[in-house]
Amino acid sequence: MKLPTLRQLHYLTAVIDEKHFGKAAERCHVTQSTLSAGIQDLEDLLEVSLLERTNRKVLSTPIGEEIAARARQILSLSEDLVDLAQAEKNPMSGRIRIGLIPTISPFLLPKTLPVIRRELPDLELILVEDQSERLLDQLEAGNVDVVILAFPFNIRGLNQRKIFSERFWIALPKDHRLCKQEQIKAEEIPVKELLLLAEGHCLREHALSACELPLSAQRRSVQATSLYTLIEMVASGMGITLIPEMAVNSDMVKHADICLKPLKSAAVQSEREIGLVWRPSFRRTRTLDRLTEILGSVDLS
């Protein structure tokens, strides 16, 4: 039985991602005629129509979309094989693609990247920032190799390793009545003043969990898409918010005209845990071990 080639699967996923033959051909570094012929051969082999071709755009058929999803998994596994062979020769060399969420990357990277460059000079890092769900999509598709996330979070059966945990702090306007306290109890938080990130950011759920508050407990009229925006809103007297401990001594927070107080909470999830998530097929465990050591040893305070 004749089987599809990796090249054919690569052509298919490129066309479906780009929805354009010309752009897909550029991405695959081949001519458009070569790419079109490769996909036609794949359709002939499978005896199904994978694409709907029009003069303006290219759409995938339902079966084409399903086959493309499986093709991405196959391509990811083949890349993992290459990574595994390379890691066997030198585990601390080669390329590794790391995804990070926006509430971790600006605070973790400035302190850890210099150490990684010094300790692992032959390791090439490709960094991707996005929200947790989309990063897991990219991880399953093979577009990134490992993701740094905050837990608890549904990791869809992927592998995970926790590195460290951190508490939450309350950011308040400098003239707020709670600034006089050494710390703030969860039950003392004025819910009507609480500012949080928009839905889709896991920090939102973690902050509410630390305060033992329901997901509806926030000012619905005011939501931000970044921690920086939240800090600026607090500095302007629009409300209060929660920030992770790794952000407390960042330039973003130190230069803001706000008051910071530690949160005292009896909640089970009063802290968020930071860790790695990767595909079971990704076998560069020695590389992950070394990255874990570095990430866990850097002082983020």
- CATH, residue 56: 1.10.10.10
Tell me: do 178 and 225 sit in the same domain.
yes
Give the mean model confidence (pLDDT) for residues 144-155: 93
Q: Would you say residue 219 has pLDDT above 60?
A: no
Confidence label for 218 from pLDDT (cuts 50, 70 and 90): low
Tell me: do 54 and 179 sit in the same domain.
no
Give the mean model confidence (pLDDT) for residues 195-202: 82
222: in domain? yes
Confidence label for 270 from pLDDT (cuts 50, 70 and 90): confident
Q: Would you say residue 220 has pLDDT above 60?
A: no
Tell me: do 248 and 107 sit in the same domain.
no
**pLDDT value at position 298?**
82
User: Residue 172: which CATH number?
Assistant: 3.40.190.10
Which of 204, 191, 249, 265 is CA-nearest to residue 230?
204
Chosen domain end from 82, 114, 146: 82
Three-state SS annotation for the chain: CCCCCHHHHHHHHHHHHHCCHHHHHHHHCCCHHHHHHHHHHHHHHHCCCCEEECCCCEEECHHHHHHHHHHHHHHHHHHHHHHHHHHHHCCCCEEEEEEECCCCHHHHHHHHHHHHHHHCCCEEEEEEECCHHHHHHHHHHCCCCEEEEEECCCCCCCEEEEEEEEEEEEEEECCCHHHHCCCEEHHHCCHHHECEECCCCHHHHHHHHHCCCCCCCCCCCCEECCHHHHHHHHHCCCCEEEEEHHHCCCHHHHCCCEEEEEEECCCCCCEEEEEEEECCCCCCHHHHHHHHHHHHHCCCC
Tell me: do 253 and 227 sit in the same domain.
yes
**pLDDT value at position 33?**
92
Q: Would you say residue 91 has pLDDT above 80?
A: no
**pLDDT value at position 207?**
83
Tell me: do 150 and 282 sit in the same domain.
yes
12: in domain? yes
Total number of domains in the chain:
3
Confidence label for 208 from pLDDT (cuts 50, 70 and 90): confident
120: in domain? yes
Give the mean model confidence (pLDDT) for residues 184-206: 86
**pLDDT value at position 79?**
80
**pLDDT value at position 286?**
86
Chosen domain end from 41, 62, 82: 82
234: in domain? yes
Tell me: do 42 and 159 sit in the same domain.
no
Tell me: do 152 and 285 sit in the same domain.
yes
Tell me: do 139 and 276 sit in the same domain.
yes
How far lies 152's CA from each of 144, 186, 273, in Å?
A: 21, 19, 7
Q: Which two tokens stand for residue 139?
A: 């991880």
**pLDDT value at position 268?**
62
Confidence label for 90 from pLDDT (cuts 50, 70 and 90): confident
Classify each residue of 71-104 as buried b or exposed e, where b means 16 or more C-beta atoms within 10 Å of its C-beta: bbeebbeebbeebeeebeeebbebebbbbbbbbb
Chosen domain end from 82, 114, 145: 82
Tell me: do 142 and 18 sit in the same domain.
no
Give the mean model confidence (pLDDT) for residues 28-33: 92
Q: Which two tokens stand for residue 23?
A: 């752009």
Which of 291, 283, 281, 296 is CA-nearest to residue 77?
281
1: in domain? no
Length of the chain: 301
Which is more confident, 135 or 143? Answer: 135
Q: Which range marks the domain in which residue 238 is found?
A: 166-270
How far, in Å, CA of 37 to CA of 199, rounded?
A: 44
Tell me: do 146 and 235 sit in the same domain.
no
88: in domain? no
Q: Would you say residue 276 has pLDDT above 70?
A: yes
Give the mean model confidence (pLDDT) for residues 269-288: 88
Tell me: do 200 and 220 sit in the same domain.
yes
Strand 146-151 and strand 271-278: the pairing is antiparallel
87: in domain? no
Confidence label for 222 from pLDDT (cuts 50, 70 and 90): low
Q: Would you say residue 72 has pLDDT above 80?
A: yes
**pLDDT value at position 191?**
86
Tell me: do 158 and 203 sit in the same domain.
no
Average pLDDT, the chain: 88
Q: Would you say residue 8 has pLDDT above 80?
A: yes
220: in domain? yes
